[in-house]
């Protein structure tokens, strides 16, 4: 990058969270110790040494689970339960113990070899779930080796605020970092769904992935620009001055937004707007509360399915929905029934390959053709309704017949619960308007439901006939296309004419360029990512619905 005659070294990555961080780089390098092979004098004692180290490692994982539950929520902490289960696995333990006995080798070497063997085996499997377990195996074997070597849990100690850069971070490494000393993350590997990314979002700090890092950057000054996905290394005085100015403005804006906490979401001409937040799992509720959302407008229940290797049981789902409902203490919690399919695949559903999965076997189509899956979820939802203010909405609707079939199944579930003496509440039921068919038929559909929630992401791609995942079509994709805005207006008008309230839960809900437009259209609710609640509240309170 060239600026006023001075070359500024910049590196481009993918931004995980917007924001600016300025500070010294700390290069986090994993401790690599050579594991030597030797022949112990007493093989039986060596096996016992391994078993003791394994038990200590399992204990460490238990402590990490507790710590992670407090910081990133139960769902994200579950990885440590998985690691503990792996260490308790008979196949893994038998392989280590057998190697010590038959090859006459030390425990460290046996664990490392077993870890490599199992990791290689998993990485070569076709099943994506088992492929992902390869990294977990290496993580747990490294933990046991560290315990055997007397190096404990291997914490990374930070003694001042830094921009942490690393090739990647394992879940156990991420959770043990001192969050008060982190200004930003920059990693070479990882994805937007990695544990590093999850932690960055939960802490609301800037983060970049996909940056080609260098060890020699350690101790140098840098700036992370989460708005543009740029890392500035040793920025010159003029660049640093400009970035500091932007950060100061960002800090001032954040402070002003905090003053909006506790304020009502009411326009200048007196209309109250329901300003809700979108979540994917239980841990996100903390961000909902922190950002003062009035409720939850979209709980993506499919994440309960995506995070498991089996169909979540009724009890597992009930506990999740009940927990969120109780935490929200009477505030509205709108839960979307599972939206598996398209870009959200769970191996155990055994969905066949489709040429056009976005328009294929997904969401309500799975629920209506596999009612046993649907009824399990509905039972959990209605049971949880006794513990809070729950509403249910159904995705990918295209016809009145689908709604009639849903209602039949719902009545079956409610009848079964009554017969079993299970308490539940009568809940609001709505549908997502994300197909052009639903938008065009919204006047008829509004007579059958309590509310509409417009899913602008899919509605836009289906209306424009553009795959939103195809980067080659970015220049054609226009979320502000007049056809989309007209369709949204039609849905609002049709919903209101039949006494049905209308909200938006797609990405456009947080598009502050359109907030005032939506208010003038007559929108009743906006559900956005938690971090957008206060910026949208600011616009609601300074706008009018009329005029």
Neighbour-count burial of 154, counting CB atoms closer than 10 A to its CB (0-12 exposed, 13-18 middle, 19+ buried): middle
300 is in an annotated binding site: yes
524 is in an annotated binding site: no
The answer to whether domain 2-28+160-256 has CATH 3.40.50.12160 is no
pLDDT at position 334, please? 97
Give 43-148's CATH code, choosing from 1.20.930.40, 3.30.9.10, 1.10.274.10, 1.10.10.10. 1.10.274.10
470 is in an annotated binding site: no
pLDDT tens-digit readout, 50-95: 999 999 999 888 888 787 776 655 655 667 777 888 888 888 999 9
Tokens at residue 11, please? 């590196």
Contact 218, 28 (CB under 8 A): no
* CA torsion angle 481 484 487 491 (round to 10): -140
- The Cα–Cα gap between 496 and 494 comes to 6
What's phi and psi for 224, nearest 5 deg? -105, 120
pLDDT at position 180, please? 78
pLDDT at position 4, please? 40
Angle at 341 between CA 488 and CA 430, to 5 degrees: 40
pLDDT at position 5, please? 38
339 is in an annotated binding site: no
- The Cα–Cα gap between 105 and 471 comes to 52
The DSSP symbol for 478 reads: -
The residue ranges of the chain whose pLDDT is under 70 are: 1-8, 30-33, 70-78, 126-132, 151-157, 170-176, 191-203, 341-346, 348, 350, 354-355, 468-471, 547
93: left (phi over 0), alpha (psi -120 to 50) or beta: alpha
CATH number of the domain located at residue range(s) 259-541 in this protein: 3.20.20.60
pLDDT tens-digit readout, 513-547: 999 999 999 999 999 988 889 989 999 999 998 86
201 is in an annotated binding site: no
Q: Which of 195, 367, 500, 545 is catalytic?
A: 195
pLDDT at position 365, please? 92
Q: Which of 156, 367, 500, 505 is catalytic?
A: 505
Q: What stretch of H or E contains 175?
A: helix 171-176
Active site residue 505: yes
Q: Give the N- to C-terminal CA distance of the chain in Å, as an integer.
A: 46
Domain residue ranges of the chain, discontinuous segments joined by +: 2-28+160-256, 43-148, 259-541
- The Cα–Cα gap between 433 and 437 comes to 9
CB within 8 Å of 200: residues ≥ 6 apart:
16, 17, 184, 185, 206, 207
Active site residue 481: no
């Amino acid at each position: 990058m060239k600026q006023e005659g001075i070359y500024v070294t910049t590196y481009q990555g993918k931004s995980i969270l917007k924001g600016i961080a300025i500070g010294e780089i700390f290069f986090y390098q994993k401790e690599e110790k050579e594991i030597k092979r030797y022949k112990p004098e007493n093989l039986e004692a060596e096996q016992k040494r391994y078993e003791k180290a394994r038990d200590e490692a399992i204990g460490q994982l238990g402590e990490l689970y507790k710590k992670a539950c407090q910081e990133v929520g139960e769902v994200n902490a579950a990885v440590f339960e998985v690691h503990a289960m792996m260490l308790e696995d008979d196949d893994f333990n038998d392989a280590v113990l057998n190697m010590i006995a038959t090859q006459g080798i030390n425990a460290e070497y046996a664990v490392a070899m077993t870890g490599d063997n199992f990791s290689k085996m998993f990485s070569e499997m076709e099943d994506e779930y088992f492929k992902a377990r390869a990294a977990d195996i290496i993580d747990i074997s490294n933990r046991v080796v560290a315990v055997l070597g007397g190096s404990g849990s291997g914490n990374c100690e930070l003694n001042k605020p830094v921009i942490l850069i690393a090739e990647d971070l394992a879940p156990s490494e991420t959770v043990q970092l001192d969050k008060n000393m982190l200004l930003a993350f920059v990693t070479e590997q990882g994805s937007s769904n990695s544990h590093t990314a999850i932690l960055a979002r939960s802490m609301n700090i800037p983060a970049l992935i996909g940056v080609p890092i260098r060890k020699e950057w350690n101790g140098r000054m840098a700036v992370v620009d989460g708005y543009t996905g740029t890392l500035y290394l040793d920025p010159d005085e003029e660049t640093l001055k400009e970035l500091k100015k932007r950060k100061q403005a960002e800090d001032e804006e954040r402070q002003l937004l905090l003053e909006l906490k506790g304020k009502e979401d009411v326009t200048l001409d007196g209309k109250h707007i329901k300003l809700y937040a979108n979540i994917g799992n239980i841990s996100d509720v903390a961000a909902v509360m922190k950002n003062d959302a009035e409720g939850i407008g979209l709980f993506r229940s499919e994440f309960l399915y995506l995070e498991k290797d089996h169909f979540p049981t009724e009890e597992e789902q009930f506990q999740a929905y009940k927990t969120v409902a109780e935490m929200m203490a009477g505030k509205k919690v709108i839960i979307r029934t599972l939206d598996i399919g398209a870009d959200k695949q769970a191996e155990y559903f055994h969905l066949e390959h489709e040429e056009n999965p976005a328009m294929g076997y997904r969401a309500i189509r799975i629920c209506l053709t596999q009612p046993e899956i649907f009824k399990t979820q509905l039972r959990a939802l209605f049971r949880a309704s006794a513990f809070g203010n729950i509403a249910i909405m159904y995705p990918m609707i295209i016809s009145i017949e689908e709604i009639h079939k849903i209602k039949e199944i719902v009545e079956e579930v409610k009848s079964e619960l009554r017969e079993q003496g299970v308490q539940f509440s009568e809940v609001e039921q709505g549908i997502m308007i994300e197909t052009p068919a639903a938008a065009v038929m919204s006047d008829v559909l509004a007579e059958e439901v309590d509310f509409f929630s417009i899913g602008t992401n899919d509605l836009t791609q289906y209306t424009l006939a553009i795959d939103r995942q195809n980067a080659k079509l970015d220049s054609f994709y226009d979320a502000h296309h007049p056809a989309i805005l007209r369709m949204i207006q039609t849905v609002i008008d049709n919903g209101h004419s039949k006494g049905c309230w209308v909200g938006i839960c797609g990405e456009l809900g947080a598009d502050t360029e359109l907030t005032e437009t939506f208010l003038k259209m007559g929108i009743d609710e906006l559900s956005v990512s938690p971090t957008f609640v206060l910026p949208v509240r600011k616009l609601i309170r300074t706008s009018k619905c009329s005029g």
